[in-house]
Structure 1
Amino acid sequence: MIFENQPTLPVRIRPFHGEATIGYLLRVSQANGYVTLSQLVNPFRSFDALCQGLNLSIEERQTLIGPLSSFRGSTELLNSQTSVDFNTSLMRWCSLCFQESAHIRGSWLLKISCVCSRHAVVLHDRCPCCGSVQRLGRVNYLQCDCGVCNGQQKPDTCLGSVSRKFPLEFDRGLIAQC
C-alpha cells in the first residue's frame, strides 16, 4: 500500500539478514539522532508506512525477524510464529557476535533461545559490571546505563560439546525457516 504525504527519513540504513525488527528500528533511530524508538515510529500510521519511509523493499522486510510491539497489528509472523514466541522486553546478546557486527539478531529474541547458534555460548542478559537487566527499546543498546559496553563481555559458558548440540541445531533450524 502506498501512503500519500508520508514522511521519509534522512538516514535510511539497510537491515542485516536475520536482524530483529526492533533491533533494526533501534539502529535507524540512533542513525537519525533520535533518543527513543517512539520518536521514530510515532510519525507513521503503521509499520507499512514506516517501511515506505525507509524505502525498504519487500525482500528487505522479509529478512527481519520478530514483532514490533510499537504497532498494534497482526501478531502472525513468518512460518506460523506469533509475537508470543518472542521476548519483546528484555535484551539478550552474544558479545562475540556484537564484536563482529553490532546488530540484534532475531534468533536472540526467541523465548526458547539461550545460546548463540554461531558461537555456541550462553547469551548475556545482564550488565557484567552493575548486574542490571538490559531492556529492549533503548536506542543505545550497546551500552548499559552504567557506561559499560555490552559488546566487550567475555562469553560466560561455551556449549560446544556434543551433549549440548541439540539446542544449537534446533535454534539454527528455526532461523533457517525465517
Structure 2
Amino acid sequence: MISQCCKNHGVRYPSPERSWKEDGLTDANYDLLLSLLKKLSSSTLAEQKEAARALRSLTKRLPSFRAYFSESIESIPQLLTPLTEPEIDPDLHQDLITTLMNLSTHETNKQIVAETPMAIPILLDALRSGRMETKSNAAVTLSTLSSLNSNKSLIGKADALKPLIDVLEEGQSLAMKDVASTI
C-alpha cells in the first residue's frame, strides 16, 4: 500500500535489497568488504595481511559489518582461501581465524560458516597447528557454531573431538577454558 502511494505521487520507494541497509550500512561499506576480500587473493603477503587485519578489526568493532558476509555466498570461501595454502604466515592465519570467530557471533552467519565445506577443516587445522591464540579462537568459533543444532552434527562428523582434546592436554590456560566449553 505504501509503495503504491509512493508510486502514485512520484516518490521513489526504497526497495529492501539488502537487510544490512536497515542497520544503516552503506553500499560504500559493502564495496569496502568486497575490496578487502579481493586483496586477500593478492599475490603479495603484505596486501593479504593488511586486508586480514582490516577485516578482523571491522568484524570486531562493527557487529553490523558481520551482516555483509551473509549477503554474499562467496564471501566466506574468499575469506578462507588463503588458509588453504601449504605455508601460511602465522599473523595472517591468526587474523583470518579471528575474523571467522567474529563472524560466527552473527546469528545468520553461523549456518553459512558451518556449511562452507572448507570452514570446519580449517578450524580443526588451526587447533592442530596454530599459535595458542589462534587455537583458542578456533575453539571459540567451533563452540559458537555448535550453538545451532544443525551444526553440531557437521562438527562431529569432522572429527573435531581429537584436536580439541589435544589442545586441552597442552595445558595452556588461554585455550583450556574455550576448548572445554566447546567439548
**TM-score normalised per structure 1:** 0.28
Structure 2 length as normaliser, TM-score?
0.27
Higher relative contact order (CA 8 A, sep 6+): 1
Choose 1 or 2 for highest CA Rg. Answer: 2
